[in-house]
Structure 1
Amino acid sequence: MLQQRRTPEAEHTVSDYMQSSNDAFPSSQETLGHIVTDIIRAGETVSRKAICAKLLARLSDNQDPELEKQYHELIALLLGRE
């Protein structure tokens, strides 16, 4: 049976790829997860209103057009306006 050996070069390439994908802004799911975590840590009730308020706060502090688009999409999703 043929066995593949891992070379340090191949492992380095894979880890570089994984690291580069982590440098991008978070996915929509990750963003919602961070927001929900913030709400829970603040001792607040997680609700659509609370999540939208956090998204709007992040939107007003944001300078990145890609993140702005993501925040608008998440707000539309929460309000049922896809």
Structure 2
Amino acid sequence: MTDTYNNASGSDTSTPALTLSSGEEMLGTVVMEMLQSGQEINRHSLCVKLAAKIDLSTDPALEAQISELIGLVLKKG
């Protein structure tokens, strides 16, 4: 998904609509995807969705961030 905007020189530039700069943004994006597709939101479904993102990722830093999110979702208290 991309948005088009004019850069300082006035020419069109395509860029990702959302740059995931934090775990909160990533988790929010995952929740929005699940809500839009009619999926139930619970700890199990969030972990499954996040694990699928790890499986598709080729970026070790992103995989580590997603793994940390899974840990936060599963953490009690």
Query: TM-score over 0.5 for the alignment?
Result: yes
Match in the other structure for 1:41: 36
- Give every structure 1 segment of 4 or more consecutive aligned residues whose post-TM-superposition deviation is greater than 6 Å: none
Provide the C-alpha distance between the structure 2 equivalents of 1:39 and 1:80, rounded to a whole number of angstroms: 21
What SS does the aligned partner of 2:21 have? coil
Deviation at 1:26, TM superposition (A): 2.9
Provide the C-alpha distance between the structure 1 equivalents of 2:68 and 2:55, rounded to a whole number of angstroms: 15
Match in the other structure for 1:79: 74
**Long gaps (5+) in structure 2:** 1-7, 9-17
Count of aligned residue pairs for this structure pair: 60
Task: Give the partner amino acid of 2:39.
Answer: E
- TM-score, length-scaled by structure 2: 0.69
**Percentage of pairs with the same residue:** 35
- TM-score, length-scaled by structure 1: 0.65
Deviation at 1:78, TM superposition (A): 1.0
Backbone CA RMSD of aligned residues: 1.9
Provide the C-alpha distance between the structure 2 equivalents of 1:43 and 1:66, rounded to a whole number of angstroms: 29
Larger Rg, first or second structure (1 or 2): 1
Query: Of the candidates 48, 52, 55, which is equivalent to residue 47 of structure 2?
Result: 52
Counterpart check, 1:32 vs 2:27: yes
Provide the C-alpha distance between the structure 2 equivalents of 1:35 and 1:50, rounded to a whole number of angstroms: 10
